[in-house]
């Protein structure tokens, strides 16, 4: 070996110290199969590069990971089989030393990751989130009402504002010629249907009251009774002769 002297020591090209060959990383591109810099110098060099060019370092690490992955998987499996007893003992020992705090920290880390991933998915699939929520509401009417009530009790000012807004909207959308009795009759009819069929019926504005393109009227001609699930899936997105 060219770089190893008679004592079996190898001279580091960087710090110039003579060290045992075990203090050098393997490098198949070198003549003696070992890196010219010692492990310590090599690590310092790599650390410096991580600071100077983190992107390049990350790319190189990723490429190296991918390159060695199949071989490493095989190696890991073989290593586990060969050292099963010791590995299991070490696992048991780790488990024994694991405090509840450590377990909790690990759990919270996993949880945060999962939540972030879910939030990301929800941001990218708003239509599916909405459809799922609507499906759940239509299948859990009582529970969804309880949740709404709870939220209304928790934020009374929000709830009051929402109710006032809805009333104001109806008031502004109610023409002078609207027959209030006929309007009330429609609401009464919806309640009767709900009681008789056991399926909740809503009064819906055919042309929505609240939309950026149209303003429907709160009058008998613009009201229709819909099953709650039909109404909830309709939202304010459709009306006759819509553009």
Give the interface with Zn ion as residue ranges (CB under 5 A).
12, 14-15, 38, 41
- How near is the Cβ of 42 to Zn ion at its closest, in Å? 8
Q: Shortest approach of Zn ion to residue 39 CB, angstroms?
A: 8
Question: ∠ CA 200-205-208 to the nearest 5 degrees?
Answer: 125
CA dihedral 136, 141, 142, 143 (to 10 degrees): 20
Which is closer to Zn ion, CB of 19 or CB of 211?
A: 19
Residue 29 CB, nearest approach to Zn ion (Å): 18
Choose among 102, 22, 223: nearest CA to 10.
22
Taking the C-alpha atoms of residue 167 and residue 173, their distance in angstroms, rounded to an integer, is 10
CB of 22 to Zn ion, least distance (A): 14
Least distance in angstroms from the C-beta of 60 to Zn ion: 21
Whether 217 and 178 have beta carbons less than 8 Å apart is answered as: yes
Q: In terms of CB distance, is 12 or 190 closer to Zn ion?
A: 12
Question: Measured between alpha carbons, how far is 128 from 213 in angstroms, rounded to an integer?
Answer: 25
Are 204 and 225 contacting, i.e. CB atoms less than 8 angstroms apart?
Answer: yes
Give the residue with the Cβ less far from Zn ion, 14 or 211. 14
How wide is the angle at C-alpha 167 spanned by C-alphas 161 and 168, nearest 5°?
85
When the beta carbons of 46 and 84 are compared against Zn ion, the nearer one is: 46
CA gap 207, 222 in Å, rounded: 7
- The CB-of-7 to Zn ion minimum distance in angstroms stands at 17
Toward Zn ion, which CB reaches closer, 41 or 200?
41
Q: In whole angstroms, give the CA distance from residue 237 to residue 219.
A: 19
41 vs 223, which CB is nearer to Zn ion? 41
């Amino acid at each position: 070996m060219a770089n190893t002297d008679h004592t079996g020591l190898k001279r580091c090209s960087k710090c110039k110290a003579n060290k045992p060959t075990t203090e050098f990383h393997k490098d198949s591109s070198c003549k003696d199969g070992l890196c010219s810099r010692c492990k310590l110098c090599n690590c310092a060099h790599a650390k410096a590069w991580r600071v100077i060019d983190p992107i390049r370092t990350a790319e190189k690490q990723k490429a190296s990971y991918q390159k060695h992955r199949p071989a490493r998987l095989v190696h890991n499996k073989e290593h586990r089989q060969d050292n099963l007893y010791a590995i299991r003992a070490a696992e048991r020992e780790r488990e024994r030393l694991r405090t509840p705090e450590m377990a909790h920290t690990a759990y919270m880390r996993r949880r945060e990751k999962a939540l972030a991933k879910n939030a990301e998915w929800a941001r990218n699939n708003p239509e599916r989130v909405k459809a799922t929520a609507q499906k759940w509401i239509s299948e859990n009417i009582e529970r969804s009402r309880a949740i709404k009530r709870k939220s209304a009790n928790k934020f009374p000012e929000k709830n009051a504002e929402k109710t006032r807004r809805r009333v104001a909207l109806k008031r502004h959308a109610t023409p002078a010629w609207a027959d209030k009795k006929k309007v009330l009759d429609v609401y009464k009819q919806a309640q009767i249907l709900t009681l008789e069929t056991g399926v909740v019926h809503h009064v819906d504005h055919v042309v929505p009251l609240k939309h950026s393109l149209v303003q429907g009227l709160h009058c008998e001609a613009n009201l229709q009774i819909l099953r709650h699930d039909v109404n909830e899936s309709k939202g304010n997105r459709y009306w006759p002769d819509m553009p």
